[in-house]
Copies of this chain bind each other. A is one copy, B any other.
Amino acid sequence: MLTYHFKTGGEPLYVQLYDAIKGDILSGVLMPGEALPGKRPFAKHLGISVSTVENAYGQLMAEGYITSMPRRGFYVAEVKTLPKVPETVPVQKTPDPVLESLHTALRGRRWFADFQSNQTDPASFPFTLWAKLTREVLSDEQDQLMTNPPAGGTLTLRTAIADHLRDFRGLVVAPEQIIVGAGTEYLYTLLIQLLGFDRIYAVESPGYRKILQVYEAHRLKTAKIPLDHQGLRPDRLEASGASIVHITPSHHFPTGITMPIARRYEMLSWANQAPDRLIIEDDYDSEFRMTGRPLPPLAAIDMTGRVIYMNTFTKSLASTVRVSYMVLPPALTAAFYRKLRFYACTVSTFEQAVLARFIAEGHYEKHLNRMRQAYRRRRDVLLGAIGQSPMAGCAAISEENAGLHFVLTLKIKKRDEAVVQDAAKRGIRVAPLEAGDAHRFLINYSSIPERVIPEAVRRLSEAVLGREG
């Protein structure tokens, strides 16, 4: 009979027995079809308990190394081309060159000042309050935290958002119309599934590049619609054959244009000229309009259910807090729940609960006011620094009153690419608005702490004015 020796103090006996038999099968000592000893005599022979043998056989059976035949016992299974000891051979023991290069790329570069980033600086996030609310939620709401919310998010968070929209955007919607998801890009992937793969999706050109990337990743037909000084051109939209259009009326990215009311009605008029037309209104940083009152969103003047409203907390709270939402018109809300309710909500209940309290208790409003002030001050410091810098003579600023960025137009000969490279050498990340040396640069200041601004502008000015090459 097969004989194995066991070590004391190591693996459990059944594992040692399992390993030994498997080793004999893999090495060919035990051949396919060969009978194994009966459990009882084997146990007696080895001086171990019957259940130890049973456990080892059970594991070998589950893995397919042996089979049992009723009333006849156990046999080595037919296993085709079994390589040696598969489970201990590591995949990728030596670094893969592709992964190596990714490794470096993923670790990213740290900039002295990044005028492209949408990040918020750590000093502006209410960490202490967030910790307090988290502690409260984890102690008060354990049952709710463990309950799967509907696909659109918890009713608590959706109610808080609905109240906020009513009070601050004049938008009266039912919590059920609000779909919460892990970022605007994710909501776009849901919308595509809801609206269909065979339509033409129109985007602003220039515009927020990620929207186009999401559409392209889904192999959709897209149309890039040019702008005039009021925003997206309805005539070009009409000509494009698109039935869905994405616009940023409260603050166009990157030019900063605010769409006037007349153009808003033209957009609604376009939407109402065919039964399948829809407008996706991205209201992504309406909270940070610097002067005047915010404009009413299209969704608030849409009487026929043609506008999908989108907004996000990634701009107003932190780019790393992945919570965005969309407001669907009633008919689309029903379609969403019919077609897509099987999706679990992508935001953890923990984060939904904390954010709901943050909004409902009035902290969000206070945070927005504080941030608006801080950003206004930061913008003023930045504009002041540019005005006093050596590049002042060739620099013009536009669209500085809305959102967290503006456009810096430079009267220079130096190629844009050379400016970008010289800035990068100095730890400054900046990007031109468009290709072709138009010398227009996007200046996003949400991630730049105030104290860093003077030095950042000094370096940028050097990069702008320094000789090319």
Contact = CB atoms under 8 A, between A and B. Distances in A.
B106 A176 contact: yes
Contact of A351 (B15, B59, B88, B350): B350
A37 interface: no
Interface in A150-205: 150, 152, 155, 166, 170-174, 176-177, 182-183, 185-186, 189, 193, 197
A121 B15 CA distance: 33
Contacts of A362: none
Interface string A75-109: 00111111100111111110110110011011110
Chain A interface category by residue count: 35 or more
Contacts of A15: 293
Copies in the complex: 2
Interface in A315-334: 318-323, 330-331, 333-334
A14 to B, nearest CB: 8
A361 to B, nearest CB: 18
Contact of A62 (B130, B295, B299, B301): B295
Interface string A295-320: 11001111100000000001000111
A48 interface: no
B98 A125 contact: no
A331 B261 CA distance: 50
B125 A146 contact: yes
A384 to B, nearest CB: 20
28 contacts: A59-B293, A61-B260, A62-B260, A64-B259, A86-B301, A88-B170, A89-B300, A91-B173, A91-B302, A91-B303, A96-B330, A98-B331, A99-B333, A117-B148, A120-B146, A122-B143, A122-B145, A122-B146, A145-B318, A146-B319, A147-B320, A182-B182, A185-B344, A193-B218, A197-B197, A197-B219, A319-B344, A348-B348
Interface of A: 15, 18, 55, 58-59, 61-65, 77-83, 86-93, 95-96, 98-99, 102-103, 105-108, 117-122, 125, 127, 130-131, 134-135, 138-139, 142-143, 145-150, 152, 155, 166, 170-174, 176-177, 182-183, 185-186, 189, 193, 197, 209-210, 213-214, 217-219, 230, 258-266, 269, 291-293, 295-296, 299-303, 314, 318-323, 330-331, 333-334, 337, 339-340, 342-351
